[in-house]
Amino acid sequence: MSYIILFAGLIATLALSLIMRRRSAIRDIAGPPSPSWIFGGLGVLFLLQGDHQQLRAALNVGFTAAAVRQYQPIFEKVAQTISEKLEYSEVASVDMCPLLSVAAFDAISEVVLGCPTGNLDADFVKINLEVMHLSSTQSASQILADALTGLLPKWLRRQAVNLPTKSLKLIRTQTSLATKEGRRAVREKIEAKRQGLDPNDDVFSLLLNSEDSRDSLSSEDIAGQTSIIMIAGGETTANTLAFGLVELARDPELQDSLRAEIHAVLGTGRHNIAYDNMPLLNAFIKEALRMFPTVPFPERVAVQDTIIPLSEEITLNTGQRTDRIPVRKGQLVLLGIASYQRLESLWGDDADKFRPSRWLDGTVHQGEAIGPYANLLSFLGGPHTCLGWRFAVMEMQVILCELLGKFSFSLPVDHVLRIRFAATLQPVDATGNKGTPLCVKRIL
Ligand code: HEM
């Protein structure tokens, strides 16, 4: 981990400090994130400025606090499925990563498309799970080839998208199957409405039926989001949960306290559980997001010349001191989120320690709010702030309550956890592959 932080510190801390001093700086570098050349299409992540604002405002209808509350029963069902799988597992230690990936995919399929995974096209399901694992299975040369392709001039990149590399082939197929599946889901909802059936509570139904979005969103706009939502919402949530479970397995005392809070709340009944009113659970989620931001270094291309103001002066290699960095239009800026969230100057001497109590004892960094949740940048900030952050928080709340309420987690004797950065931040096991093997014991 320290390598990642050092790397980030070298190339990107500057860019982050800036956001802290003047929040609007992030808006001046609001250009497209680098993978836009691969995906293209209609996905909200890849649009810019006016087009982006308009589409995002319309899509937001499916991601408000009120909308997300309606999805709670689906998250609970998905969480129970993980429990059932754990119950029947007979191995000494269970790799939680694949279970969490499948759960995250199930949650998105049902909440967004309104369709359980079992009813989706089998090739679409398979390709999505492959894409979720793409960044953890790429060789060093594949990563380098993709990164270099991203640096080609725009006209050449348009052609390069069709290169037969493993990652480009996978992403092309995922985008095309996702759009097909999204169109099918939209068609079925329109047909159900024509037949006078009540609309469901899924995101696409809300978008098709809400007064706020139906005039500004075409069916094709909605279907066109399927690919990016599947990708943006899957591995991100699954990896945060996986890192969090390892921290719980390391700290039996923390696990007991969290379980006591969960039992106290669940003991009062399983209906309409007020997950937001569980202080330790929410502190735990914030700490997992702070320590393990799954998108640790998002990239931006400046849309105009701008000045990035720094919170502290730095010395340039010319010896000159400065508190600002000029950025030219078109220049690439890396946002060192992982560094920002471990800066000792902001989070204290124990910034590198997993300590959820910092969110409860008043020692947490208070400053200008720069992200949508808990003053963290894990969901980014500015115009491209994660659209699904409330969705992700509730999904994590529900899954943690279900798992911790019923099981205890401990580290296997030969436990090794390394952290890899390959597009997302991933837990890696002793074999060098993505994985978090944990000993899991039923307690209730
Ligand atoms: C812990 C879980 C999650 C984390 C840490 C996370 C983080 C992020 C980050 C950092 C971005 C900005 C990426 C960039 O611009 O380069 C983003 C964008 C986005 N996320 Fe999430 N995300 C999570 C879960 C979700 C979920 C569950 C969904 C949907 C169901 C979702 C949907 C989106 C969408 C649609 C965007 C694009 C927003 C836009 O460009 O306007 N995310 N997310």
Residue 236 Cβ inside 6 Å of ligand 1? The answer reads yes
- Ligand 1: residue whose CA is nearest its atom 17: 386
Q: How many whole angstroms separate alpha carbon 348 and alpha carbon 365?
A: 8
Residue 160 has a CB neighbour count (10 Å cut-off) of: 18
401 is in an annotated binding site: no
The pLDDT, as a whole number, for residue 150 is 67
Q: Residues 383, 48: contact at Cβ < 8 Å?
A: no
ipTM of predicted assembly, 2 dp: 0.99
The pLDDT, as a whole number, for residue 4 is 34
Report the separation in Å between the CA atom of 234 and the middle of ligand 1, taken as the mean of its atom positions: 10
Task: Give the position, in ligand 1's atom list, of the atom nearest the Cα of 46.
Answer: 40
Residue 8, pLDDT > 50, answer no
Query: Which of 117, 100, 115, 108 shows the shortest CA–CA distance to 399?
Result: 100
Distances (CA, A) of 147 to 314, 342, 414, 418: 29, 26, 35, 23
Residue 16, pLDDT > 90, answer no
Cα dihedral sign, 182-50-149-143: negative
Domains, the chain: 2-442 (1.10.630.10)
Q: How many whole angstroms separate alpha carbon 415 and alpha carbon 317?
A: 42
Q: How many whole angstroms separate alpha carbon 275 and alpha carbon 399?
A: 11
Decide: helix, strand or coil at residue 325: strand
Specify the range with the lowest mean pLDDT, choosing from 55-64, 116-125, 147-156, 422-431. Answer: 147-156
The pLDDT, as a whole number, for residue 38 is 55
Q: How many whole angstroms separate alpha carbon 185 and alpha carbon 179?
A: 10
- Per residue in 429-444, pLDDT (tens digit) is 888 888 999 999 998 7
Task: Give the CA count within 13 Å in the CB-facing half-sphere of 101.
Answer: 22
Residue type for 420, please?
R
Report the separation in Å between the CA atom of 93 and the middle of ligand 1, taken as the mean of its atom positions: 31
Report the separation in Å between the CA atom of 410 and the middle of ligand 1, taken as the mean of its atom positions: 30
Residue 108 Cβ inside 6 Å of ligand 1? The answer reads yes
Report the separation in Å between the CA atom of 336 and the middle of ligand 1, taken as the mean of its atom positions: 16
Residue 2, pLDDT > 80, answer no
Residue 9, pLDDT > 70, answer no
DSSP 3-61: HHHHHHHHHHHHHHHHHHH-TTHHHHT----TTHHHH-TT-GGG--HHHHHHHHHHHGG
Residue 381 Cβ inside 6 Å of ligand 1? The answer reads no
Of residues 271 and 57, more confidence is placed in: 57
Q: How many whole angstroms separate alpha carbon 397 and alpha carbon 381?
A: 22
Average pLDDT over residues 20-46: 52
Among 236, 241, 282, which is best to mutate for testing ligand 1, by the most ligand atoms less than 8 A from CB?
236
Residue 386 Cβ inside 6 Å of ligand 1? The answer reads yes
Q: How many whole angstroms separate alpha carbon 258 and alpha carbon 262?
A: 6
Report the separation in Å between the CA atom of 229 and the middle of ligand 1, taken as the mean of its atom positions: 8
